[in-house]
Amino acid sequence: MERRNRGAAEPRRGRIEKRVWIKASAPVVYRALTDSKELGRWFCDRASCDPREGGELIACWNDGKSIRKGKALYKRVKEGAAVELEWVDEGDGAPAKASRHTLSFAIRSKSGMTELCMQDDDEADSDPESLEALDEGWNAVLLELKDFCEHRERSSRLRAHPRPQSGDQETP
């Protein structure tokens, strides 16, 4: 039987799965995942995208000293229900890997909320520390998405049902 050194970081394939409940409609969540202006408000600093199968997403992050640009291809797009991207350039300056790195989102309406299931699947070997850092990073990113969508939903409800101004008469 082979013994493994438990103290050593063993490479393994990277898969991170997350689920988040968002107090916003499925269309609001879908738009946040597929609209370039909205992506630039929660995911990256600037984006351009063509959310159709075969279309591209270009995401730019500004770290203060330089701009990092990543590129993904939309592999699956089902309006209001699913988005799957395959990263072809992760913006780290390294040449594209031979392994696949996909990012999938499943969007489901339930009980007046939206359940978002995210799966980040990288066929490349990763050490446990890198996977843990990525896992924690996704927690922060998905919290940004949740906050963004919930704010967007509240704002759209307020626009649809403005409060009466003082002195205005409400009609029964």
Closest to 49 in 3D by CA, of 77, 15, 24, 14: 77
Q: Map residue 12 onto helix, strand or coil.
A: strand
pLDDT of res. 117: 97
Burial zone of 24 (CB within 10 Å; 0-12 exposed, 13-18 middle, 19+ buried): buried
Closest to 27 in 3D by CA, of 103, 160, 116, 118: 116
pLDDT of res. 9: 44
Half-sphere exposure of 47 (CA within 13 A, CB side): 21
Structural domains of the chain, with CATH: 12-35+76-158 (3.30.530.20)
Nearest-angstrom CA–CA distance, 7 and 30: 42
pLDDT of res. 86: 95
pLDDT of res. 36: 96
Q: Is the pTM of this model over 0.85?
A: no
State the 10-residue block means of pLDDT for the chain, 172 residues long: 42 80 97 97 96 96 89 96 92 59 95 94 81 91 97 82 57 48
Q: Look at strands 56-62 and 46-49 and give their pairing.
A: antiparallel
